[in-house]
Structure 1
Amino acid sequence: MRFLKSLFKDKLAASSLVVILAVIIIGVFAPVFAPHDPLEVNISKKYAGSSWEYLLGTDQLGRCVLSRLIYGIRPSILWVMAALMLSVLIGAVLGFIAGYFKGKVDALIMRVCDIMLSFPGYVMPIAFVGIFGVGLENILIAFIIMKWAWFTRVIRTSVMQYTELEYIQFAKAAGVNHFKIIRRHLIPVTLADIAVISSSSVCSMILQISGFSFLGLGVQAPAPEWGMMLNEARSVMFTRPELMLAPGIAIITVVFAFNFLSDSLQTIFDPKLMKSKKIRTEKVEA
């Protein structure tokens, strides 16, 4: 309750959360919100302007732009978030093991992470696509393989910091089961750090998925996806700029919402940042 109260005090954070939740709900229930079949082709109505039947007009094949935008939430946002959660889950398990038990286990996990993190961000997905072929599934698998190591390292650092606290050391000395200590004491205090890094990472993953689809390496036609919609509208970007504006604004809006939410979460969970923010606010009001 205290967390929600602090979150909704920040109007920008509250607005960002509302936007994210609205996008997720619309994506999950896309058949309910979409006015038309996103794959329905009607050449006689190609490049139709905005109307009551087609609020955002139609594309080069007469398909409803709004319907494709709504269905595009699934690969652009929902599947990205699913891949992110799996990456965080793998990273959290290994990060807790490395940060808590330390020693040889920590050294082994960290060496594997060093190997994975030595690859540049875009090399792994492109190599994976080159080996297994284009498609959203292969891009998401590449993201999971690439991202878990970064989450493992960050979560490990957080866990190592908390394991030095006196009550954790006392629990160890008292002979409390290790996994009980992790479940009862470490997981609750590290959830804040995990939430912050997850909300900030989803932005880069959304942009990367859209970028790969724009290049033709991600979602394949005729399936709707925001990056691919931008690619399809390239040829008419000067005569029909609205076809690029719709998916472009959607990507920017969602990425901004996640960024603002991430900044607010960091402020809420860090007392020092919260205090400095209050001081700045008081100075402005004065």
Structure 2
Amino acid sequence: MKRIGSLLQDRLALLSLFIITSTLLAGIFAPWIAPNDPEEVHMELRFASASWEYLLGNDHLGRCVLSRLIYGIRPSVLGVLAVLAISVGIGTAIGFIAGYFKGKLDALLMRICDIMLSFPGYVMTLGIIGILGVGLQHILLAFVLMKWSWFARIIRTSVMQYADAEYVKFSKTLGIGSLRIIWKHIVPVTVPVIAVTSSSAFSSMVLQLSGYSFLGLGVQAPHAEWGMMLNEAREVMFSRPELLLAPGITTILFVSAVHFFTDALQVALDPKLGSSGRKKQRKGRFQTANLQGSEVA
């Protein structure tokens, strides 16, 4: 409770949480929130300025920019969130098994992880796209293949720190089953690591998906996606910069909110990080965001 209280006292964390929650809800309830059909073409409104009916104007096909931004949340954020949950689930299961039971099973699982991690993420994604073709589902499949081994490695390291603790050994001498020991003694202390690692990877995956869609490898027309909207607005970036700024600012705002919330979450879960640690963490988040942005570009 004290950890949650310290998190709630951070105004920037609360603002970030509000942005993240609002974005997720807008994506889930997009059919009821979006003012217009995101795929409806009105050539007579091509590049029309903002109006009461179209608050952010219309794109090169006369489609509602605001509606496309809202519907773009689904692949850009909700799709990534679903893949993240699958990757974390697989990585957590393997990490707990390898870190707790150790021995030959640990060696086998970690060698498999080493094989998966030996492939650069972008190379693996491009390879899957080259074999299966372009499309959102293929990029999300590549994300699962890339991320589960990374999560497994991190969670295994965390589990091994507690697997040999005295209270765990005492539980074993009492004849308590391994599953119960893991659930009662190890899961609670590893949840902070899983939460921080997952939230940190979330923003990176959102940027990567937008980058692939910007290159024409992800979401395909006429469906809406933030990266694809950036690509469509390139040709009029000087005459109609608002068409480029709308998805760009939305992406930056959401990714920054995830970064700041991850920072606050890590500080709340780790009492050793004081105010100086908080500043260092946020500085690191800015550097990470800049690095990820350059990778996508």
Q: TM-score range by the shorter chain?
A: over 0.9
After superposition, where does 1:17-96 map in structure 2 within 5 Å? 17-96=17-96
Question: What is the number of equivalent residue pairs in this alignment?
Answer: 280
After superposition, where does 1:190-205 map in structure 2 within 5 Å? 190-205=190-205
Q: Alpha-carbon deviation of 1:106?
A: 0.5
Which whole-Å CA distance do the structure 1 matches of 2:275 and 2:245 have between them?
Answer: 39
Measured against aligned partners, the alpha-carbon deviations of 1:178-228 in whole angstroms (never above 9, x if no partner) come to: 011011111111111100000000111001000000001000000000000
Which whole-Å CA distance do the structure 1 matches of 2:233 and 2:279 have between them?
Answer: 47
Aligned counterpart, 2:267: 267
Deviates more, 1:169-178 or 1:271-280: 271-280
After superposition, where does 1:94-109 map in structure 2 within 5 Å? 94-109=94-109
SS of 2:26 mapped into structure 1: helix
Q: Alpha-carbon deviation of 1:276?
A: 5.1
Aligned counterpart, 2:156: 156
CA RMSD of aligned residues (A): 1.4
After superposition, where does 1:114-263 map in structure 2 within 5 Å? 114-263=114-263
SS of 1:122 mapped into structure 2: helix
Structure 1 gaps, min length 5: 281-286
Q: Alpha-carbon deviation of 1:162?
A: 1.4
Question: Aligned AA for 2:246?
Answer: A
Aligned counterpart, 2:4: 4
Question: Aligned AA for 1:63?
Answer: R
Q: Alpha-carbon deviation of 1:164?
A: 2.4
Q: Alpha-carbon deviation of 1:279?
A: 11
Aligned counterpart, 2:288: none
Measured against aligned partners, the alpha-carbon deviations of 1:42-73 in whole angstroms (never above 9, x if no partner) come to: 00001011111111000000000000000000
Contact 2:267–2:278, Cα closer than 8 Å, also in 1: no
Which whole-Å CA distance do the structure 2 matches of 1:216 and 1:198 have between them?
Answer: 27
Which whole-Å CA distance do the structure 2 matches of 1:106 and 1:275 have between them?
Answer: 38
Question: Aligned AA for 2:31?
Answer: P
Which whole-Å CA distance do the structure 2 matches of 1:279 and 1:240 have between them?
Answer: 38
Structure 2 gaps, min length 5: 281-297
Which whole-Å CA distance do the structure 2 matches of 1:51 and 1:7 have between them?
Answer: 40
Deviates more, 1:266-275 or 1:224-233: 266-275
SS of 2:63 mapped into structure 1: coil
Question: Aligned AA for 2:53?
Answer: E
Which whole-Å CA distance do the structure 1 matches of 2:135 and 2:213 have between them?
Answer: 9
Which whole-Å CA distance do the structure 2 matches of 1:277 and 1:146 have between them?
Answer: 30
Contact 1:268–1:274, Cα closer than 8 Å, also in 2: no
Measured against aligned partners, the alpha-carbon deviations of 1:73-104 in whole angstroms (never above 9, x if no partner) come to: 00000010100010000000000000000000
Runs of 4+ with >3 A deviation: 274-280
SS of 2:76 mapped into structure 1: helix
TM-score with structure 2 setting the length: 0.92
Contact 2:212–2:227, Cα closer than 8 Å, also in 1: yes
TM-score with structure 1 setting the length: 0.95
Question: Aligned AA for 1:66?
Answer: L
Which whole-Å CA distance do the structure 2 matches of 1:251 and 1:148 have between them?
Answer: 25
Aligned counterpart, 1:283: none
Which whole-Å CA distance do the structure 1 matches of 2:170 and 2:219 have between them?
Answer: 52
